[in-house]
Structure 1
Amino acid sequence: MTSEKTAPAPARAAHSPVLVFAAGTAVGVLGGMIGLGGAEFRLPLLIALFGFAALPAVIVNKAMSLIVVLAAIPARLAAVPLADLGAHWTVAANLLAGSLLGAWTGASWAVRMRGATLHKVLAALMVPMAGALVLAHTATVGTLMLPGPAQAVAGVVAGFGIGVVAAVMGVAGGELLIPAIVLLYAVDIKTAGSLSLLVSLPTMLVAFARYSRDDSFAVLRANLRFTGIMVAGSIAGALLGGLLLGVVPDLVLIPLLAAILLISAVKLARHSTTGDPVTDR
């Protein structure tokens, strides 16, 4: 399918590999310190620092998120064996029933938006991401204890919403999936983290497949080296961030990370007022 966004948007210059790797590492460290991939922090960098237009930035972010999740799965399976996750396969199936459709729908919406509109949407989504981050790490997530049919409906609805957000932002969605799994299914936080990866992976693949039908997907071919270097930095940073887990108290770290997301939201919103020379009609 050909969208109105007909030109790939590579970085505005041949950025230093050291800068690209350092940016990826910084994102990985931030994500690793809170047990997430950090893609929500990577997206503003792709736009503000490296000069990607909105939709190509989302596509590149999605590709990187997919690779980071694939790299994280073996470590998560070592912590929570696949046999243990098998006992919760209905949780993953329930969420996937909504998230797969949500991912396709969200990606379809994104490729049809004007650049300025997508900037505003991304800015708006950063705010609830910051809120979810604070709530998930500073408050105890309870459980709703819904009856079976209501729980199933709630799971599909939650999965759909998370799939849309993850597709539009190019993230894995773990910051939303983990509290949703704990809240709806009374699963412990460690198992919820592993289940979120099993839901995220097929959900991201669906969004990726939808983006591959758009002309802006050419941004990946134009930036393979850039993407590879930043992914390498992100994975290295995630490992380092994992080692630093607990070094900075959550009462300091989480508000700081939430503030970064809110500042990014403001900058993205302001960026939208200038228009997007690549993606606007």
Structure 2
Amino acid sequence: MSAPESTATSLEVRRFRLSFLYAVPIGLLGGLIGLGGAEFRLPVLAGTLGYSVRQAVPLNLAVSLITIAASLVIRGSTLSFSPVIPLLPVIFSLIAGAVITAFFGAAMAGKLSNEQLERIILVLLVVIGIALIVEGFLPQQIPALLPPALSWRISAGILFGLAIGLVSSLLGVAGGEVIIPTLVFAFGADIKTAGTASLLVSLPTVLVGVIKYASRGAFVDRTALSNTIAPMGVGSVIGAIIGGMLVGIFPASLLKITLGVILNISAFRVFHKARRSRIEI
């Protein structure tokens, strides 16, 4: 085996191991607070595993798809979907808006330069980190901020969905960190129902994003499927299951505040540092 081949093989083995090792604790923490953890996987993909941000986003989206599908199966076996029925008009309107921007967001990401994409991702991750911190100080349920009229709910759902789909396609995330607070605070859903509804909204949104990225050749490199997506998907599911079993042991509000701080720090370390390095060169 030549030196370049040996180096490539060692890199693939390293990525396989680290993909699984990082995915388990990220999935565990996501399971504890009811999120998929994709926002924390992105800095790992673009930093620790050495992928460019253009490669990291679709890979993160593919892992998110695996995690969502597994979470729906797990949740369906432990919880009833009946509380979600009153929210179906909102869910369908969120999906309608999210699918549109998930499609065009993936196309837009392909037209941005690597530097522009990194800048947008840094801003979005910081906003999500701040949102997690703020959410940690808020009550678990408040009265719906929107009027109960169906026309209001559907219109607002489509508008919120447009923002959710854009965030999902640009970050490669399921969007739960945006969907759940939207359902709780705007539409008055309880946190458990919001978690289930979030998965139902995320599944078609992420699927559209994956299909669009695939059509643009994002998954041509099959080694990334075997040494990153597969182990990271399995690790995320295992971690999420463990996290779900440990819910209640740790205060969710404290975890959200802590993870919000960690997300901001990791986002600046990976994406802001990368920009500074290019400027210095």
- The TM-score, its normalising length taken from structure 2, stands at 0.87
Asked whether the 8 Å contact 1:11–1:51 carries over to 2, the reply is: no
**Aligned equivalents of 1:252 and 1:155: distance in 2?**
29
Matched, 1:272 2:275: yes
- Other-structure match for 1:100: 99
- Other-structure match for 1:225: 226
Report how far residue 258 of structure 1 moved.
0.8
- Other-structure match for 2:250: 248
Matched, 1:263 2:262: no
- Other-structure match for 1:198: 200
- Other-structure match for 2:117: 118
**Aligned equivalents of 2:52 and 2:10: distance in 1?**
10
Deviations 1:243-281 (CA, angstroms, capped at 9, x unpaired): 3323333454222211111012212122134459xxxxx
Report how far residue 127 of structure 1 moved.
1.2
Q: Which amino acid letter does the alignment assign opposite residue 159 of structure 1? A: G
**Aligned equivalents of 1:266 and 1:95: distance in 2?**
30
Asked whether the 8 Å contact 2:23–2:232 carries over to 1, the reply is: yes
Taking the TM superposition and a 5 Å limit, the aligned residue runs for 1:199-214 are 199-214=201-216
**Aligned equivalents of 2:267 and 2:54: distance in 1?**
16
Deviations 1:78-98 (CA, angstroms, capped at 9, x unpaired): 344234433322121111121
**Aligned equivalents of 1:64 and 1:12: distance in 2?**
22
2:220 aligns to what SS in structure 1? helix
Asked whether the 8 Å contact 1:107–1:211 carries over to 2, the reply is: yes
Q: Which amino acid letter does the alignment assign opposite residue 70 of structure 1? A: A
**Aligned equivalents of 1:251 and 1:83: distance in 2?**
27
- The TM-score, its normalising length taken from structure 1, stands at 0.87
Asked whether the 8 Å contact 2:129–2:260 carries over to 1, the reply is: yes
Report how far residue 63 of structure 1 moved.
0.3
Asked whether the 8 Å contact 1:61–1:171 carries over to 2, the reply is: yes
Greater fraction of residues in helix = 2
Asked whether the 8 Å contact 1:80–1:191 carries over to 2, the reply is: no
- Other-structure match for 1:13: 11
Q: 1:155 aligns with which of 157, 161, 181?
A: 157
Matched, 1:187 2:189: yes
Q: Which amino acid letter does the alignment assign opposite residue 91 of structure 1? A: V
Most deviating of 128-137 and 175-184: 128-137
Q: Which amino acid letter does the alignment assign opposite residue 20 of structure 1? A: S
Most deviating of 64-73 and 113-122: 113-122
Against the structure 1 CA distance between its residues 164 and 70, is the aligned structure 2 distance closer, same or farther, given a 3 Å change threshold? same
**Aligned equivalents of 1:196 and 1:248: distance in 2?**
22
- Other-structure match for 1:5: none
Against the structure 1 CA distance between its residues 82 and 150, is the aligned structure 2 distance closer, same or farther, given a 3 Å change threshold? closer
- Other-structure match for 1:63: 62
- Other-structure match for 1:29: 28
- Other-structure match for 2:133: 134
**Aligned equivalents of 2:9 and 2:99: distance in 1?**
30
Root-mean-square deviation over aligned CA pairs: 2.2
Deviations 1:75-117 (CA, angstroms, capped at 9, x unpaired): 2223442344333221211111211111112111111111111
Asked whether the 8 Å contact 1:58–1:169 carries over to 2, the reply is: yes
Report how far residue 48 of structure 1 moved.
0.6
Deviations 1:107-161 (CA, angstroms, capped at 9, x unpaired): 1111111111111111110111112222334302532132433332221111100
Asked whether the 8 Å contact 2:109–2:170 carries over to 1, the reply is: yes
Most deviating of 186-195 and 75-84: 75-84
- Other-structure match for 1:7: none
Report how far residue 11 of structure 1 moved.
10
Report how far residue 191 of structure 1 moved.
1.0
Against the structure 1 CA distance between its residues 101 and 238, is the aligned structure 2 distance closer, same or farther, given a 3 Å change threshold? same
Asked whether the 8 Å contact 2:66–2:233 carries over to 1, the reply is: yes
Could you list the runs of 5+ residues in structure 1 that have no partner in the other structure?
A: 1-9, 277-281
1:172 aligns to what SS in structure 2? coil
Most deviating of 90-99 and 252-261: 252-261
Deviations 1:9-39 (CA, angstroms, capped at 9, x unpaired): x999224343332111121112112111101
Most deviating of 73-82 and 28-37: 73-82
Asked whether the 8 Å contact 1:116–1:273 carries over to 2, the reply is: no
Matched, 1:166 2:164: no
**Aligned equivalents of 1:250 and 1:31: distance in 2?**
10
Could you list the runs of 5+ residues in structure 2 that have no partner in the other structure?
A: 1-7
2:215 aligns to what SS in structure 1? coil
